[in-house]
Amino acid sequence: MHRALRSLTFFWRPSLAVALGAAVASTVLSGALLTGDSVRGSLRDLTLDRLGGIDLALVSERFFREELARDLVRRRAAAAAAPAIVLRGTAIHGGTRARAAGVALYGVDGRFAELFGAGLPALEGGSGGLFPPLIVNEALRRELGAEPGDDVLLSFARPGEIPRETLLGEKEADDVLAARRFTLVQVLPDRGLGRFGLAPHQAQPLNAFVPLAQLQAAAERAGRVNALFAVPPRGAGSVDLRGAVRLEDLGLRLVRSGAHLSLESAELFLPAAAAAASAAVARGLGAASSRVFTYLATRMQANGRRLPYSMVSGLSALPELKDGEILLNRWAADDLRVRPGDAVEMRYLVMAPGGGFRERAARFRLRGVLEMAGRGADRSLTPSFPGIENARDMAAWEPPFAVDYGAIRPQDERYWDAYGAAPKAFVSLPAAQRLWGTRFGNLTAVRFEGGDPARIEAALRRELPRRAALEAFGLSFRPVKREGLAAASGSTDFAGLFLAFSFFLILAAVLLVGLLFSLAVERRAGELGLLLAVGYPVRTVRRQLLAEGGLLTALGALAGLAGAAGYAWLMMAGLRSWWLPAVGTAHLSLHVELSTLLAGWCAAVFAVLLAVAWTVRRLAKLPPAALLAGSTAAAARQRPGRLARRLAAGTAAAALALLLCAALSAEASSPALFFGAGACLLAAGLAFSALWFHRPRPWRRAGLAAMAARNVAAHPGRSLLAIALVASACFVLVTVAANRRSAGGDVREGAGGFPLFAESAVPLVQDPGRAAGRLALGLSEADEAALRGVSILAFRAVPGDDVSCLNLYRPGRPRLLGVPAELARRGGFRFGRTLTKTENPWRLLAADLGPGVIPALADANSATWILKLAVGQDLAIVDESGRPVRLRLMGLLERSLFQSELLVSEANLLRHFPSQAGRSFFLIDAPPEKAAGVAKALEEGLGRFGFDVSATAARLSSYHAVEDTYLSTFQALGGFGLLLGTLGLGVALLRNLLERRGELAALRAFGFRRRRLAFMVVAENGFLVLLGVGVGTLAGLLAVAPHLAAAGGPFPWPSLLATLLAVVAAGFVSCAAAVWSTLAAPLLPVLKEEG
């Protein structure tokens, strides 16, 4: 090592050059890794910023007591807990009517602000205006163009307890939607509270904060919330809800009726988990339990007589009833004039797939009649039906379905007066569940009989919240901060990405170091020869050189680490500005981690040492005699082997054959064939160049040009290496440039031929694809006229993480779309690989893969790059009940509109996420000339639901913009690499010139002027650069010919030409610099030295 140091310090100039080369390699390599660090670090910062002090979040479809937050803190189950209402809605500027859809609406109080170490006094006090106060973030203010003091209308889905897609769920727009006017009092900057959001996404959310009490009032949920944000106690990872949760937090209630005690659900349908748990509790107390499913029959008829609107109960307590048998109470039996054994037909309504109702009929045989006492007149069997239970008489019913009031007779009113909603008929529980069961449940109550009702009630209130699986009731905290920080590791490995982008830059730097080291060592060829001559083993000489190279590399790479931070900073600046479409956020900053610097240093040293080792190995192979003579050429120049000739001929023939195939094939513009032909042409161009260099050149024509040509061929290996480097880089740059696309030819296929798509902030229970649905949604006749000839496919959606390249975070729970059967029938979209070959891959979604496995489709880009999932592989998720489910990837869509989500069949989606009511994603097929009118009609007609229509081309363009931006980045960094490569050519040239300086000095002595010699040398090397650029560019253009011919986006000629011209210019400038430095040397010392 000591000797190595002595040598390095003595030969400090070449050593410095090598160290600088290593520094460049280290700068780029470590800088690329730091870019990854910085993106990850920035995402972590964003996560911490948007969540403030919140570690855990519970956001439920169900509402629970606001007091739960206080109870948790009081019981020390949480260090802090803030109750909130979290809704999605639409904001409309009161004056300008400017609209912003997809607004995150938060009803909060001071406890929430405290989690951010801030206060929101503006919410606590009044607005000073007519309406309650509203705080928005800067992004929403911008969207609305609102200023403090302006009125803003917030529209959102009114939380409904009874599932909307059931008979008694509210569906009318006026029932579903709530709207309140607020006065804007404060605008938060887009950070901290202003950036608050639970979704791991770098996009700035549109946030609106209103007083919790005001939103509770607007949502008609006084004292109730649907979200808790919490900090766990010190040392605990989560908040234990058990003990604090009460029965009503689960949406359950206990109803006493005489000796009976019933457990019911506020949502009408009692969750199976609650039924089972309550039965177990009752059993423990010696009480019996039975299950009840009460439904509304629109009509019962027998013997030509009709009985309208009757409650019917399915009871487990009637085991003797067979599936087709029915019991009537005396009143009904008399009214219908039936006797046991008679047939009774029952009609009832069920939800139709499009959102309306369908009447069905069932036939029973009357098994018996119950007298009008006890079970025969038991009102408590009917749960609280909104619009019905409190009606004074039947004519005053206001249920969410059409009632034929004309069918209601006086005796029906009398029954109502006497018995209220007591069921008139009874069937077996299995029959009831078969007829009326829904995905939301198939029980309306569990009744407890026997034992002390008060004791049972107390036990149920105490035990049920403890025993029930709280997750099934939506009561579970998500470790949002931990998940967010984990997701901040990113869906895209930016370190890897920028390493790939910087590949040519790193390669060029490494080659440059190899050349510089080679240059430095070759000047000491005599020294090496001497060491070998005096008996140093080759191994020892190699080791010494490697030690020198290693030391230089280590020191250079160390110095390069300072540059790495600069390089990463530059990349961050690029991502914040020029390449913004790739990341979608300007909140990216430099993060430097020591371990990354160390890894970058190691990688750079390793890469550079490879180049050094290659040089050492090459030199150490030379005989000592040759080294003593100062020669570092490997061996006497030989004719190119048969292999080189065969390679040249073979690759040229292959290029022609592939072109012929492309011309003859049905797909005349087959990209793969053309790419293969281009690659073959590149190889052929290099092989022919090699042959040309080796061709003997008799002295036919004198002159500088001829001399230059001979000189180029003097070192065929070096010349070929130079050309190969430049040509390969140009080839890649051209092919990459061709892959850049703006909205182009693949838009229609990517969107399946749908020119428009829409998203609705409030899911639509009625299907806007059907005329009846549109009517129910309140679209006008004019809107209907505008929508004539338009087809709309509606998708159900389970909210989740965006799995497209637009999301920098690693998605945890992907957003799911339920594909309607219509799309599976219609087909369309372009598919890539599928698990099994099929004409219509949409049908794969219906495949039965066994329990717990759901067939799914995904966009190829999202699956490959974001989810890292291949066809046939599974993605594990958890369904609504907390059960693990595997999504098996059955096929990949190519460059589709569906890059943000995974697609499953609607049936499977409903099976595993039954509470997802309504449809919130829509594909709209409209003639191009009508598209604008259709969008306007739908947005105006459904604006209350936050219905936002966009062009599919725009969405595809935003996806393509990410790709294009990445490709631009690659082009830019590849261009830099190529520039550095041309500097390497300059170094190689300098090396040649140093070898030839005696020759050049002699030529000058013979009377050649410097300028002429400079021309000769620049011509030699300029020729190499031009040859490399020419071969690479031509081969690249051939490879991408189909892209050029296609009617897609414009080919980025200007940027490509600018890069190539910069390369050529850099090549000539570096040549000129090398030539100048050599020819500027005084003549005589050189001649003396050489002599």
Partner 1 sequence: MGMAGGDEKLLVVRDLHKHFPTAAEPVEVLRGVSFALDAGEALAITGPSGSGKSTLLHLIGSLDRPTGGTIEIAGRDPFQLPEPELAWFRNRTIGFVFQHSYLLPQYTVLENVLVPSLAFPDRGRDGQSARAHAEELLARVGLGHRLHHRPAELSGGERQRAAVARALLNRPRLLLCDEPTGSLDRKAAAAVAALLFELHEAERTVLIAVTHSLELAAHFPRRCELAEGRCTELSAA
Residues that bind partner 1 (CB under 8 A): 3, 6-7, 9-11, 526-527, 529-540, 623-626, 628, 635-639, 694, 696
Minimum CB distance to partner 1, residue 535 (Å): 2
Minimum CB distance to partner 1, residue 17 (Å): 17
Q: How many CA atoms lie within 13 A of 408 on its CB side?
A: 15
CB of 312 closer than 8 Å to CB of 355: no
CB of 89 closer than 8 Å to CB of 155: yes
Beta strands 305-315 and 425-428 are parallel
Which residue, 9 or 577, has its beta carbon nearer to partner 1? 9
Within its chain, how far is the Cα of 860 from the centroid?
Answer: 12
Give the integer Cα–Cα distance in Å for 149 and 126: 12
Give the integer Cα–Cα distance in Å for 495 and 442: 52
What 8-state DSSP symbol labels residue 864?
I
Which residue, 305 or 621, has its beta carbon nearer to partner 1? 621
Which residue, 635 or 1061, has its beta carbon nearer to partner 1? 635
Query: What sign does the CA torsion over 424, 427, 430, 433 have?
Result: negative
Which residue, 10 or 1006, has its beta carbon nearer to partner 1? 10
Minimum CB distance to partner 1, residue 649 (Å): 21
Which residue, 92 or 525, has its beta carbon nearer to partner 1? 525
Residue 661, judged by CB atoms within 10 A of its CB (0-12, 13-18, 19+), counts as middle
The vertex-929 CA angle with 927 and 931, nearest 5°, equals 65
Give the integer Cα–Cα distance in Å for 347 and 357: 12
Which residue, 352 or 613, has its beta carbon nearer to partner 1? 613
Minimum CB distance to partner 1, residue 49 (Å): 57
The structure tokens listed for 904 are: 């499953």
Minimum CB distance to partner 1, residue 624 (Å): 4
Minimum CB distance to partner 1, residue 637 (Å): 5
Which residue, 323 or 1089, has its beta carbon nearer to partner 1? 1089
Helical (H) or strand (E) element with 282: helix 272-284
Minimum CB distance to partner 1, residue 532 (Å): 7
Name residues whose C-beta falls within 8 Å of residue 562's C-beta, 6 or more positions apart in sequence: none
Q: How many CA atoms lie within 13 A of 459 on its CB side?
A: 19
DSSP 951-977: EHHHHHHHHHHHHHHHHHHHHHHHHHH
Give the integer Cα–Cα distance in Å for 509 and 17: 12
Minimum CB distance to partner 1, residue 622 (Å): 10
Name residues whose C-beta falls within 8 Å of residue 2's C-beta, 6 or more positions apart in sequence: none
Give the integer Cα–Cα distance in Å for 683 and 250: 71
Minimum CB distance to partner 1, residue 1086 (Å): 17
Minimum CB distance to partner 1, residue 697 (Å): 11
Which residue, 189 or 630, has its beta carbon nearer to partner 1? 630
Give the E-state strand segments of 607-714 in sequence order: none
Minimum CB distance to partner 1, residue 545 (Å): 14
Which residue, 502 or 544, has its beta carbon nearer to partner 1? 544
Which residue, 696 or 851, has its beta carbon nearer to partner 1? 696
Minimum CB distance to partner 1, residue 859 (Å): 58
Determine what percent of the chain falls in helix, strand and coil, rounding each to the nearest 5: 50, 20, 30
Minimum CB distance to partner 1, residue 608 (Å): 23
Give the E-state strand segments of 266-342 in sequence order: 288-302, 305-315, 325-329
Give the integer Cα–Cα distance in Å for 563 and 31: 8
Which residue, 9 or 595, has its beta carbon nearer to partner 1? 9
Which residue, 461 or 694, has its beta carbon nearer to partner 1? 694
Which residue, 519 or 860, has its beta carbon nearer to partner 1? 519
**Ramachandran quadrant class, 847 (left: phi over 0; alpha: psi -120 to 50; beta: rest):** beta
Which residue, 535 or 1054, has its beta carbon nearer to partner 1? 535
Which residue, 635 or 846, has its beta carbon nearer to partner 1? 635
CB of 689 closer than 8 Å to CB of 644: no
Which residue, 532 or 819, has its beta carbon nearer to partner 1? 532
Which residue, 3 or 466, has its beta carbon nearer to partner 1? 3
Which residue, 237 or 537, has its beta carbon nearer to partner 1? 537
Give the integer Cα–Cα distance in Å for 995 and 1017: 13
**Ramachandran quadrant class, 337 (left: phi over 0; alpha: psi -120 to 50; beta: rest):** left
Minimum CB distance to partner 1, residue 738 (Å): 41
Minimum CB distance to partner 1, residue 554 (Å): 20
Closest CA to 711 of 520, 993, 512: 993
Amino acid identity for residue 1023 in this structure: F
Amino acid identity for residue 49 in this structure: D
Give the integer Cα–Cα distance in Å for 9 and 23: 18
Give the integer Cα–Cα distance in Å for 810 and 355: 36
- The size of the chain, in residues, is 1091
Minimum CB distance to partner 1, residue 525 (Å): 10
DSSP 17-58: HHHHHHHHHHHHHHHHHHHHHHHHHHHHHHHHHHHTT--EEE
CB of 721 closer than 8 Å to CB of 977: no
Minimum CB distance to partner 1, residue 642 (Å): 16
What 8-state DSSP symbol labels residue 867?
S
Minimum CB distance to partner 1, residue 683 (Å): 24
**Ramachandran quadrant class, 557 (left: phi over 0; alpha: psi -120 to 50; beta: rest):** alpha
